[in-house]
Structure 1
Amino acid sequence: MGKRMHDDDEDAGEKALRKAGQKLPSQIKNKHKRSAEYAKVRAEKIKEKKQRIRARDKAEKQAVELGEAPPARQVPRTIENTREADETVARPDDEELLEDCNEDEFSGHFSREHAPKLLITTSQECSAPTRRFIKELLMVIPNATFYKRGSYELKQIVKYASNRGFTSMFVVNENRKQPNGLLIVALPEGPTAHFKLSSIQLSKKIKGHGRTTSHMPELLLNNFTTRLGHRIGRLFGSVFPQDPQFRGRRAVTFHNQRDFIFFRHHRYIFEEKEIKELAPVTIGVNSDAKSRKGMPKTVKKNAVVARLQECGPRFTLKLQSLQSGTFDSKYGEYEWVHKPDMDTSRRRFFL
């Protein structure tokens, strides 16, 4: 990795020297002299970058003092802001989408007709890492209950959960004694979503993690922009209660980025901290440069600041399929299935 970064710096340095019409460092046979020339080129590039930043900040400051709009900053090109256009991107004023939301399988939950109740189970062979992961899910999600799978088929468990008033069901699958998949079934009518599960990190592995309380958490759904993403977001929302207890300062986040859904669990912390502020400038009739020079530039002040403390666990989901109705792998009708030929571009996203 380090060698690759060094090669990139050398390529950039050679381009700069070639543009200036100077001798290329790659033409120098002595290794130490060649490295010294590359170091000079890198130092010049860093110096020029700092000068550009200072000039930009100065121009913005002058514009603010004159009451004008500051010059627009250049927006860096990223994979997110150069994504391929998608016709299914949902708009806030989409009346058809609002009508679908009022009539879909989750409308009863969001209209507060019933409280969410979750059943969590596993594949037929359950290892210790999977049980530890489920134990932390039970601490994060309110009204969640674990049932041992045994030798029952999934269709039997779905029927059992529906008859006992459960509104959602999680099935944690595993491979080689490690959890690697999550099946979410909305009850009693579906849909059923299958996710690839990866990058699991339990609470005890997170440095400085906080303790989970029994308060209802606040749910945050980020960047679910398409019709499919909107449906997946409502599926996640149907698992958590609609009345968070803000006194507990808990926040559960599902953040979608490039079709990878990152799960995080935090709590807010408010604490009093000493901060520094610019000292007010008082210019009198008898003030001179020497007296102003001795005055303090900053003053210390006590203020209440907020920060986040991660409680855990953290994991990543990748949607594999979305099926209409409850789980039926043989005769079920799929709304969306991820296929390898769909990954034709790095800038094509579905959620």
Structure 2
Amino acid sequence: MPSLNMRRSWRSVRRLRLGMPLRSVLSSLPPPKKIPRTIENTRELDETVCRPDDEELFAGNDADEFSSILKYGRTPKVLITTCRYNSTRGPAFISELLSVIPNAHYYKRGTYDLKKIVEYANNNDFSSIIVVHTNRREPDALLIIGLPDGPTAHFKLSRLVLRKDIKNHGNPTSHEPELVLNNFTTRLGHRVGRLIQSLFPQNPDFHGRRVVTFHNQRDFIFFRHHRYIFETKATKQTDSKSKKTKDVTDENISQEKVIARLQECGPRFTLKLISLQHGTFDSKGGEYEWVHKPEMDTSRRRFFL
């Protein structure tokens, strides 16, 4: 059955053919669909937004710190460690990170300085370091260091939900996951996205049906880990021939329909970029590419990623 808008447009065409005035025809047309105003589509203009025809951006991708991994030339190898004072939920969060990131290895921090850990990781062919910081027995920050030349990204971690606390959660397999990065539109967001991308292998195993998502919205990066589940459901349909012949007993034909759904595997958390530093970690003499400051939060429609 045609919709109301289709019938209105057909009536207007008939009136136009019959010589009706154009004003009356336009008045009978349905009004255009309005686009709701949101914070995202009314964001402030940013000169650093990446464009598809930006040749300088793509030329820089071939020579940055992540090109050796993202060009399939090097397999990522990630070292995961903690701060010096670990928490009760820290080990559980790290064990779930090990199941999310392929080829990741956990090393106990002990009393080693972070510069010594960077030196050790470089000597053992690691490509990245992830440091889980804790505060009041709760993980509250992530430090991601690209090796051997950086950069170092400091993220605030919040709203952590472990796998066991997610209702109807699934258990991930050992297949290499598919990575999804959303809304990293600026130069800074593009660089942060490539840093996150360098943690994962670039040849996902689609048979495992695993998906790892980093979704940026209003400079908050939401992390989710899912797996696809395909289910077949039988649907019954009445045969049209039996209706035409007016048989007393209707013949029901069962058909199988494949339905896809997502099952969350966990963990679930949110990241907020605090700083991006040139090179590996250096708290005293390091040169920063970008640092978040309180005076940057004067407008709700100003985003940096």
The answer to whether the superposition gives a TM-score over 0.5 is yes
Aligned pair partner of 1:160 in 105, 120, 132? 120
Structure 1 position 321 matched with structure 2 position 275: yes
Query: 1:199 aligns to what?
Result: 159
State the 1:74 CA deviation. 1.1
- Which structure exhibits the higher relative contact order, with contacts defined as CA atoms closer than 8 Å and separated by 6 or more residues? 2
Query: 1:310 aligns to what?
Result: 264
Structure 1 position 172 matched with structure 2 position 138: no
Q: Percent identity of the aligned residues?
A: 63
How do 1:102-181 and structure 2 match up within 5 A? 102-181=62-141
Question: 2:281 & 2:100 partners in 1: Cα distance?
Answer: 25
Question: 1:263 & 1:332 partners in 2: Cα distance?
Answer: 28
How do 1:1-351 and structure 2 match up within 5 A? 58-59=4-5, 72-274=32-234, 301-351=255-305
TM-score w.r.t. length of structure 1: 0.75
Question: 1:279 & 1:348 partners in 2: Cα distance?
Answer: 59
Question: 1:209 & 1:64 partners in 2: Cα distance?
Answer: 51
State the 1:326 CA deviation. 0.3
Question: 1:147 & 1:210 partners in 2: Cα distance?
Answer: 27
The answer (yes or no) to whether the contact 2:87–2:136 under 8 Å persists in 1 is no
Q: Deviation string for 1:134-188 (max 9, x for gaps)? A: 0100011100000000001111101100110000000000111110000000000
**Secondary structure of 1:128's partner?**
coil
State the 1:253 CA deviation. 0.2
**Secondary structure of 1:92's partner?**
coil
The answer (yes or no) to whether the contact 1:168–1:184 under 8 Å persists in 2 is yes
TM-score w.r.t. length of structure 2: 0.86
**Secondary structure of 2:279's partner?**
coil
**Secondary structure of 1:103's partner?**
coil
State the 1:111 CA deviation. 1.1
**Secondary structure of 1:247's partner?**
helix
Question: 1:279 & 1:345 partners in 2: Cα distance?
Answer: 62
State the 1:303 CA deviation. 1.0
Runs of 4+ in 1 over 6 A off after TM superposition: 64-67, 276-280
Q: Deviation string for 1:231-258 (max 9, x for gaps)? A: 0000000000000000000000000000
Question: 2:223 & 2:11 partners in 1: Cα distance?
Answer: 43
Q: Deviation string for 1:250-293 (max 9, x for gaps)? A: 0000000000000000000111124689999xxx9xxxxxx9xx
Question: 1:245 & 1:65 partners in 2: Cα distance?
Answer: 54
Q: Give ranges in structure 1 of 5+ residues lacking alignment.
A: 1-56, 285-290, 292-298
In structure 2, relative to structure 1, the CA distance for the partners of 1:233 and 1:60 (3 Å cut) is: farther
**Secondary structure of 1:343's partner?**
helix
Larger Rg: 1
In structure 2, relative to structure 1, the CA distance for the partners of 1:64 and 1:275 (3 Å cut) is: farther
Question: 1:188 & 1:274 partners in 2: Cα distance?
Answer: 55
More helix by share: 1
**Secondary structure of 1:159's partner?**
helix
State the 1:309 CA deviation. 0.6
Q: How many residues align?
A: 279
The answer (yes or no) to whether the contact 1:59–1:71 under 8 Å persists in 2 is no
State the 1:302 CA deviation. 2.9
